[in-house]
Structure 1
Amino acid sequence: MRSTHNFYEICALQLSEKRSFWIDTCGLPDNFQTWFAVTHLHVWLLMVRIRAEKNAKVFQQQLVNHFFHDIEDRMRYNHKISSARIINTYMHDFLAQFHGGVLAYDEGMCKDDPIMAAALWRNLFTSNGSPARIATLVDYVRQELQILDSMNSEDFLESRILFGTKAPALRGVPGN
């Protein structure tokens, strides 16, 4: 359970630690939905890598549990939502987004870049975003999947993960 908490914390910090990449380079709005989408993408990246480990299903479920506990806590404490009915409605919406995103990202991973681009366009860019920005994120996802896949189990399970160490340049922009 402790390692999944560490995994989750790495995912949850991606927007704040790489704000320039996500907000400026990718052009995403600075809001709760973007935090959810960026965190979700990184949770999915780790879920893919966890599939290669013993007890993968347990680890994946714990990681997702951390994510959804944090979503609820952020709604209650950061955004001061106190109505259980409103929180439950949002939680159902986020759960549907999560499951749809996992399926779309899995399909994009197994197929090709246009399928991954479509998944990112729907789930991260909420059906907005320039082709260059979407292509940049496809590069980012492919790069991170490759880095995670190349990690040995010991380093991975010790949470020695550094996302975005080589953030791709915006595609199609002169000088990049």
Structure 2
Amino acid sequence: MAFSSFIARSSLQTARSIARAPCSRPAQLYTARAFTTSWSHSKQATSPASTSVSTSSNDIKPASSETGGSNEEPKGLYANFLRGLAMVTGHYTVGQTAMRSTHNFYEICAAQLQQKRSLWIDTCGLPDNFQTWFSVTHLHVWLLMVRIRAEKNGKVFQQQLVNHFFHDIEDRMRYNHKISSGRIITTYMHDFLAQFHGGVLAYDEGMCKDDPIMAAALWRNLFTSHGNPAQIALLVDYIRHELQVLDNISSEDFLESRNLFGTQAPALRGVPGK
């Protein structure tokens, strides 16, 4: 870790002269809302399917319909009946709300490699394979986790987002890559989980400290100890920019958003792994 940090620190300043959108502000100016909670708690909520979601009456609340817009909320007895039915069936529980919001979040994260191939494959020189898809998706999942931490019941939303990620990893191995052995899938899932935890902690450290630390985290987790300083500097600036954009979104707009990182949430997938 010390060696990679030294390389990143010595090369990053020079590389910025040829990278886009130089990052001149200290890390503390980014994600001000996220810093209201400690980044160190993130690992507690990142193990897929490791916590149960409470559905007690205290968790039942209306979905955030205060977000304005041209569509008025339905009125009258029929609307009241629908709202009451939704409350009874658990549609407004914290867990159900988290599942709906984080489904859109995850679909956006999972589409980043294909949506921005020119950045990840052409400019950054990453190989076009499953590991790259995992690493790019992981990076964007982490970006959203940082923003989610500031929300009420943020741990529940984090857990649901991570669950979507690991369910999709398994689906892709089974349906896209035709891996049928449960033992092999389990081995891969343990490896990806270890990568996930290590990446979250490394990116958190980079966010809370400085750009060379973030560059070292990218060099280890995304570039797998490859890549040149200009490519790494470009992605450090990309991360700082996206964190700032996320921090400027209100809670209501964020949880209802279907467009993040410049990507529209795709429709529900009808075939697992697609």
Report the AA paired with residue 249 of structure 2.
Answer: M
Q: Which residues in structure 2 correspond to 1:30-45 (within 5 Å)?
A: 30-45=128-143
Stretches of structure 2 that go unaligned for 5 or more consecutive residues are 1-98, 264-274
| TM-score after normalising by structure 1 | 0.92
Give the structure, 1 or 2, with the largest relative contact order (CA under 8 Å, sep 6 or more).
2
- Residue in 2 that maps onto 1:65: 163
Q: Which residues in structure 2 correspond to 1:12-161 (within 5 Å)?
A: 12-161=110-259
More helix as a share of residues:
1
How many angstroms does 1:136 deviate by?
0.4
| TM-score after normalising by structure 2 | 0.59
How many angstroms does 1:160 deviate by?
4.2
Q: Aligned residue pairs: how many?
A: 165
2:129 and 2:142 mapped to 1: Cα distance? 20
Greater than 4 Å deviation, 4+ residue runs: none
Stretches of structure 1 that go unaligned for 5 or more consecutive residues are 166-176
Could you report, residue by residue, the CA deviation over 1:112-162 in whole angstroms, capped at 9, with x for unpaired residues?
000000000001001100000000000000000000011111111112443
- Residue in 2 that maps onto 1:174: none
Q: Is contact 1:11–1:39 with CA below 8 Å preserved after alignment?
A: yes
Identity value in percent:
88
1:142 and 1:101 mapped to 2: Cα distance? 16
2:258 and 2:176 mapped to 1: Cα distance? 29
1:162 and 1:97 mapped to 2: Cα distance? 24
Report the AA paired with residue 196 of structure 2.
Answer: F
Could you report, residue by residue, the CA deviation over 1:57-76 in whole angstroms, capped at 9, with x for unpaired residues?
00000000000000000000
1:65 and 1:129 mapped to 2: Cα distance? 30
1:35 and 1:15 mapped to 2: Cα distance? 6
